[in-house]
Amino acid sequence: MPEQIFEYAPAPESRAVVSLRSCYEPYIDGEFAPAKSGEYLTTVNPADEEPLAEVAVSGEADVDRAVAAARRAFDTVWSAMPGAERGKYLFRIARILQERSRELAVLETLDNGKPVKETRDSDLPLAAAHFFYHAGWADKLPYAGLGPEPRPLGVAAQVIPWNFPLLMLAWKIAPALATGNTVVLKPAETTPLSAMLFAEICQEAELPRGVVNIVPGAGETGRALVGHPGADKVAFTGSTEVGREIARAVAGTGKRLTLELGGKGANIVYDDAALDQAVEGIVTGIFFNQGHVCCAGSRLLVQESIAEELLPRLKARIERLRLGDPLDKNTDIGAINSAAQLGRIRDLAGTGTEEGATAWSPACELPERGYWFPPTVFTGVSQAHRIAREEIFGPVLSVLTFRTPDEAVTKANNTPYGLSAGVWTEKGSRMLWTAERLRAGVVWSNTFNKLDPASPFGGYKESGYGREGGRHGLEAYLG
Ligand code: NAP
Ligand code: MG
């Protein structure tokens, strides 16, 4: 029987649910006040390069005011408030995120380029879940196993990347507030808008002024924030390179530090795995969010005996992925977040071919405007190749093979990173044997990229230190 392929009619989500201001100022002490720096940047939609809004570049004076506001709020209101009262604010924020989830999902898609299917079904529900989860902890901290009277640290300086703008904000702000800390947060340069809308949500929730402050800007703003002597705690998510710089800047200052950095996750498929299920997991592992995922399964390790069977199935599945307008509800793969990131992906993927690996992509038309990269699979990859060692942070999968479980584990661990891994097998004993030996903060079994606020997340080695989420994540904000 000939294979049936369905035609899809366009199903774009309406932009009309989002009303953007033309210009966003830093949110400090409960108000949007003109940046002292007087500098602005333009954030664009990476799917068509159209400007979305002007956003202030917060300078040292702005960061200074934000830290001072956070300190005042900590001393006068927030740290002394009973946990049950703090919890009410977190519940309120969580509910507003749910109420405004469609608006936020469309906004996140516009600013980031990721498919609305993902912002709607993943980023938004998870962001709200983080606030709900931590709201529940706010009045139970003495029972968290961290001592009878755990104390907040003070002002938390938080810097986040562009790949999950609102979700990373939730990972940072929810635990900080639940534990009684106040916050100054810098969103990424290319994706500040959902953080600016979150500032409006803080106003709507009547959160006491100064408890949350948002200072948009670029790398320099981040540097000023993490280096500010008034910060008691630094929490950073981003590249290993910037993480190293921050670790040096914070060393010896007495500030507490957590770092969530890069990854090069291995996805191990044993010969007894349910292959169609594994194919779905491989696709989710590397093509979810265009592969802009620190815990992406960017290295596929397939047992040699099934490689010939698995790869055609994987390619057939990838041929069905729909790349294009991120606002279309049928789109699987959206735009690359920025011209700079597209350049990095092209350069690294280029080394794959130069070093002798074979690239494959499905036939797919890339839109003319915007930043796009087709889903790509490299075979004939050796461990020495740069595409097997370095984080590409894009929709590019490197396929390697192994013969024995020992070899699988050795190859999986042969990386400076240690954030995530996946194991596909029907055998429980093999699963546990493998998981025990993998040096990765998260190991998924017969699934991939599953995140939950109750489950701690973080890395080994150059993937950083400290955990976010779960009971373990509270520890990073309590003294
Ligand atoms: P990045 O360059 O390290 O940027 C991360 C954030 O730090 C951005 O807000 C950035 O501002 C800011 N920043 C840049 N230079 C700084 C400095 N010297 N001091 C303080 N802040 C500074 O990383 P990215 O390219 O945006 O994100 C991709 C990387 O993040 C990948 O390596 C990925 O693996 C990692 N990541 C890790 C996790 C995790 O949970 N482990 C999650 C997501 C992403 P600008 O936006 O202006 O550059
Ligand atoms: Mg943008």
* Measured torsion, CA atoms of residues 129, 97, 263, 371, in degrees rounded to the nearest 10: 150
Q: What is the Cα–Cα distance from 88 to 82, expressed in whole angstroms?
A: 10
Which of 454, 431, 453 has its CA nearest to residue 443? Answer: 431
Confidence of residue 2 (pLDDT cuts 50, 70, 90): low
pLDDT tens for each residue of 270-318: 999 999 999 999 999 999 999 999 999 999 999 999 999 999 999 999 9
Residue 5 above 80 pLDDT? no
Is residue 46 located within the same domain as residue 133? yes
Q: Say whether 38 sits in a helix, a strand or coil.
A: coil
Q: Is residue 248 part of a domain?
A: yes
pLDDT tens for each residue of 50-98: 999 999 999 999 999 999 999 999 999 999 999 999 999 999 999 999 9
Strands 256-260 and 233-237: parallel
For residue 211, what are the contacts with CB-CB under 8 A and spacing of at least 6?
70, 73, 77, 78, 89, 177, 182, 183, 202
Angle at the Cα of 236 from the Cα atoms of 84 and 68, rounded to 5 degrees: 60
Is residue 95 located within the same domain as residue 219? yes
CATH code of the domain containing 287: 3.40.309.10
| Residue pair 273/425 in contact by the 8 Å Cβ criterion | yes
**117: containing domain:** 15-260+461-475
Q: What is the Cα–Cα distance from 228 to 232, expressed in whole angstroms?
A: 9
pLDDT of residue 1: 56
Q: Calculate mean pLDDT across residues 361-378.
A: 97
pLDDT of residue 6: 77
CATH code of the domain containing 209: 3.40.605.10
Estimate to the nearest angstrom the gap between the alpha carbon of 424 and the chain centroid: 24
Is residue 202 located within the same domain as residue 272? no
Q: Calculate mean pLDDT across residues 344-352.
A: 98
Q: Is residue 455 part of a domain?
A: no
Q: Is residue 239 part of a domain?
A: yes
Verify whether residue 202 is a known catalytic residue. no
Burial of residue 167 (number of CB atoms within 10 Å: 0-12, 13-18, 19+): buried
Strands 376-379 and 358-360: antiparallel
pLDDT of residue 3: 67
Is residue 270 located within the same domain as residue 200? no
From 108, 189, 260, 468, active-site residue: 260
Is residue 203 located within the same domain as residue 65? yes
Q: Say whether 186 sits in a helix, a strand or coil.
A: strand
Confidence of residue 207 (pLDDT cuts 50, 70, 90): very high
Confidence of residue 204 (pLDDT cuts 50, 70, 90): very high
Q: Is residue 173 part of a domain?
A: yes
Ligand 1 centre and the CA of 358: distance in Å? Answer: 30
Residue 460, CA distances (Å) to 302, 398, 464 in order: 23, 22, 6
* Positions of E strands within 261-329: 266-269, 299-303
In the chain, how many domains are there? 2
pLDDT tens for each residue of 221-273: 999 999 999 999 999 999 999 999 999 999 999 999 999 999 999 999 999 99
Angle at the Cα of 150 from the Cα atoms of 148 and 153, rounded to 5 degrees: 170
Both structure tokens of 102: 């469609």
Is residue 203 located within the same domain as residue 292? no
pLDDT of residue 365: 92
CA end-to-end distance (rounded Å), the chain: 66
Q: Which residue, chain included where needed, has tokens 């190859």?
A: 411
Residue 463, CA distances (Å) to 265, 307, 443 in order: 10, 29, 14
For residue 339, what are the contacts with CB-CB under 8 A and spacing of at least 6?
371
Residue minimizing CA distance to atom 35 of ligand 1: 238
Is residue 328 located within the same domain as residue 213? no
> Which protein residues touch ligand 1 with a CB less than 6 Å away?
159-163, 186, 188-189, 218-219, 222-223, 226, 237-239, 242, 245-246, 260-263, 294, 391, 393, 419, 464
pLDDT of residue 105: 98
Is residue 105 located within the same domain as residue 137? yes
pLDDT tens for each residue of 272-283: 999 999 999 999
Ligand 2 centre and the CA of 53: distance in Å? Answer: 9
Is residue 225 located within the same domain as residue 281? no
Q: What is the Cα–Cα distance from 435 to 444, expressed in whole angstroms?
A: 9
Q: Is residue 452 part of a domain?
A: no
Q: Which residue, chain included where needed, has tokens 């500030």?
A: 255
Q: Calculate mean pLDDT across residues 421-429.
A: 98
Mean pLDDT of the chain: 97
Tell me the best of 242, 336, 415 to mutate to test the pocket of ligand 1, counting ligand atoms within 8 Å of each CB and taking the most. Answer: 242
Is residue 70 located within the same domain as residue 33? yes
Is residue 238 located within the same domain as residue 116? yes
pLDDT of residue 273: 98
Q: Is residue 274 part of a domain?
A: yes
* Positions of E strands within 383-453: 396-402, 420-424, 442-445
pLDDT of residue 280: 98
Q: Calculate mean pLDDT across residues 23-46.
A: 97
Residue minimizing CA distance to atom 21 of ligand 1: 222
pTM listed for this prediction: 0.97
Verify whether residue 23 is a known catalytic residue. no
pLDDT tens for each residue of 395-423: 999 999 999 999 999 999 999 999 999 99
Ligand showing the shortest atom-to-Cα distance for residue 49 = 2
Residue 442, CA distances (Å) to 21, 286, 450, 455, 456 in order: 39, 16, 10, 9, 8
Ligand 1 atom closest to Cα of residue 464? 41
